[in-house]
Amino acid sequence: MIPTAARSKPVGGLISYFKNLVMPIVSQHQAFKSTGSSMLPTIKAEGDYLVMNRDPKFRRDLRVGDIVQAVEPTSNSRRVCKRVCGLPGDMVRKDPRYKLSPRTQVPPDHVWLLGDNLAQSKDSRFYGPVPRKNIIGIVYAKCNIDENGKPTNVVKLVHTHPYLKEF
């Protein structure tokens, strides 16, 4: 949730845009600003506004390739934005940068999350599988905000990434 002090006209404009033009039901949707370089090049380190669906049913319907916001398991409050790279029962490489990296099986009711920028990401390689209950929502779009608070350069986020072929 965006703190009250951090809420601004641009985020309100973004929600309004998606409410009126893209999504008929906005109560389950939330916008937030990107921070950090773990999802480069898909999501800018600073400046992209992300829109996510917080509907709890999406926790059940996750797919490999989905980008999610989750609570980091080693912290009760730190939120991270990562890509789902493994579902319950999947065998995943602990580090897909290395072909000889050991594999691990994702336990029931957990997912394996990785940042797209592996060199700059603290993810499941460090804190292990993430409980499904820690998933806050699925990020489905990104955009910029113009000086009038209107979304520009709206991009639907796709469910593919080159290193997913390793799994």
The domain limits of the chain are 4-166
Q: Let me know if 124 is a catalytic residue.
A: no
pLDDT at residue 11 greater than cutoff 60: no
Collapsing DSSP states into helix, strand and coil, what is residue 8?
coil
Strands of the chain, DSSP E: 29-35, 46-53, 67-71, 79-86, 91-93, 103-105, 110-114, 130-131, 135-145, 151-156
**Averaged pLDDT, 133-151:** 86
Tell me what the pLDDT averaged over the chain comes to.
81
Q: How confident is the model at residue 124 (pLDDT cuts 50, 70, 90)?
A: very high
50, 81, 83, 86, 102 from 165: Cα distances, Å: 25, 21, 14, 11, 16
The active-site residue out of 38, 121, 124, 142 is 38
Greatest C-alpha distance within the chain: 51
Q: How far apart are CA 52 and CA 159, in angstroms?
A: 14
Q: Let me know if 156 is a catalytic residue.
A: no
**Averaged pLDDT, 39-43:** 89
Neighbours of 23 (CB within 10 A): 17
The active-site residue out of 34, 82, 121, 142 is 82
pLDDT at 3: 43
Q: Which residue has the higher pLDDT, 146 or 78?
A: 78
Q: Are 93 and 166 in contact (CB under 8 A)?
A: yes
Q: How confident is the model at residue 4 (pLDDT cuts 50, 70, 90)?
A: very low
Q: Tell me: the pLDDT tens digits for 48-105?
A: 888 888 887 776 788 999 999 999 999 888 999 999 999 999 999 999 999 899 999 9
Domain 4-166: which CATH number of 3.40.50.1380, 2.40.50.140, 2.10.109.10, 1.10.1470.10 = 2.10.109.10
pLDDT at 89: 97
Q: How far apart are CA 63 and CA 118, in angstroms?
A: 20
